[in-house]
A and B are shown apart, each in its own frame.
Chain A
Amino acid sequence: MQRIINFILRNRNAFLYSFLALISLVITVRSHSYHQSKFFNSSKWLTGNVYGTASDISSYFNLREENNRLVNENERLRRMLFNAENAVIEPLDSSLVDYEVLSARLVKNSFTSPRNYVTIDKGKNQGVAQDMGVITTKGILGIVENVSNNFATVQSVLNTKSNINAKIKHSNYFGSLVWDAKDFTVVQLVDIPRLVPLVVGDTIVTGGMSSIFPENVPIGVIKKYDLNASKSFYNIDVELFNDMVNIKNVYLIENKNREEIKALESTTNE
């Protein structure tokens, strides 16, 4: 017994190392296969507030550019509103609205790691919930993963775990949008069958299958495509509309019918 204790005492640093290394390895491997940690992420009070303060200061530097982008979007939306074919004013009854939209501001951006998460400055208190879709004025950004009281983390499309339903515009062929971690301007669309006619420059939009994003939110254009190893599906490189480096204002989309769809699907699967 004495010898065992002596042995442990003599090699205590090695034991300490193995113990701490084991902890971090377990957390790392878990984060590769499961969702992001619930307890430690950048939406928490301390981290969120540090990023919030830093972003308050730095957001002054590109206010002009950001304002221009928002004015452009307003212009586009107004044009759509005035040119709507049957310009009937929709009744503003919340029970008739399918999608609710919230605005938020990015306090932490990230695009260089293989698993990118961004943090936004709206949380549970402002009505943000897990699995809400996040878009910018140009295209999709990701899906809300963790929510704290005043902040939320968003799993970006630039995340190897991200898997979003997408389709080719004006057709109903849909596939999954994934990312191979190589280039932050390009994501991959897989599972499009071989018989689909493709042209470089075709627009890719979200499909209506996910119950997270509404149909036809822009994603990007086809940059190049080739057949996968089994020669029956295409691997398509999609160049994103979004400039992932320069994002400030985002919109959160809540599908009012999501609970109902989920409940229906779970009863069907039983």
Chain B
Amino acid sequence: MNSAVFLNTIRFVLLVLTQVLIFNNLHFLGYINPMVYVIFFYWYPIKGNRALFMVISFLLGFCIDVFSDTLALHSLASLTVAYARPVLMRFCFGVNYEFQNFSFKNTTKVQRITFLGLLIFIHQMVFFSLEILSISHFLLILKKVFTTGIVTLVLCTLFSSLFSPQSE
């Protein structure tokens, strides 16, 4: 238990720093800043307390907001992802997810990437709609969601295979 808390704290700090110091300065093709910290929601233990998970996600988003002066955009996006995660898991992994001995190891790669992709999609959708906050810029929102989302997905897949979690 303690090692899980420790691991997640380290993850939290490292992801905030990676996001604000490296990925917020990437500006790939001029405007794409992938949000790799979304992988936190993928890595977080499945069995954990849901309310605690939501509070932690909110704090994660808030830390990144304070650093990048986009107050409460990342917080709301992260919070929404955390709230929607159980639904997404049921959608991606079926009833298997309800069992006690469920772990990522006995799921297929396609299922995991779908899950990650949906997490990222919801996050980007909330983030960019709120950031731009105008329906007349709908195409701009879609463009940003898809381009940034795809780059984020690629990077997160790489991250998840590089540092595969043993805690689950």
The chain A residues found within 8 Å of chain B, CB to CB, are 12-13, 16-17, 20-21, 23-28, 31-32, 36-37, 40-42, 44, 47, 50-51, 54, 109-115, 117, 119, 153, 181-182, 184, 245
Contacts and interface: CB of A to CB of B under 8 A. Distances in A.
B146 interface: no
Contacts of A117: 69
A18 B68 CA distance: 24
A36 B69 contact: yes
B69 A110 contact: yes
A12 B49 CA distance: 12
B115 interface: no
Contacts, number: 92
A61 B66 CA distance: 27
Contacts of B50: 13
B83 A114 contact: no
B52 to A, nearest CB: 10
Assign chain B's interface to a size class: 35 or more
A28 B132 contact: no
Interface stretch (B71-79, B94-102, B117-125): B71-79
Interface string B1-45: 000000000000000010011001101001101000000000000
A181 to B, nearest CB: 7
Given A32-B133, A40-B65, A245 B54 contact: no
Contacts of A28: 71-73, 76, 130, 133
Nearest to B78: A24
B53 to A, nearest CB: 9
Contacts of B21: 50, 54
B51 interface: yes
Given A13-B50, A40-B62, 7 more contacts: A17-B83, A20-B54, A25-B72, A26-B72, A28-B72, A51-B67, A113-B70
Given A13-B50, A28-B71, A182-B140, A42 B133 contact: no
Given A42-B66, A47-B66, A25 B76 contact: yes
A30 to B, nearest CB: 8
B130 A47 contact: no
A41 B132 contact: no
Contacts of B68: 42, 110, 113
B67 A47 contact: yes
B124 to A, nearest CB: 14
B79 A20 contact: yes
B131 interface: yes
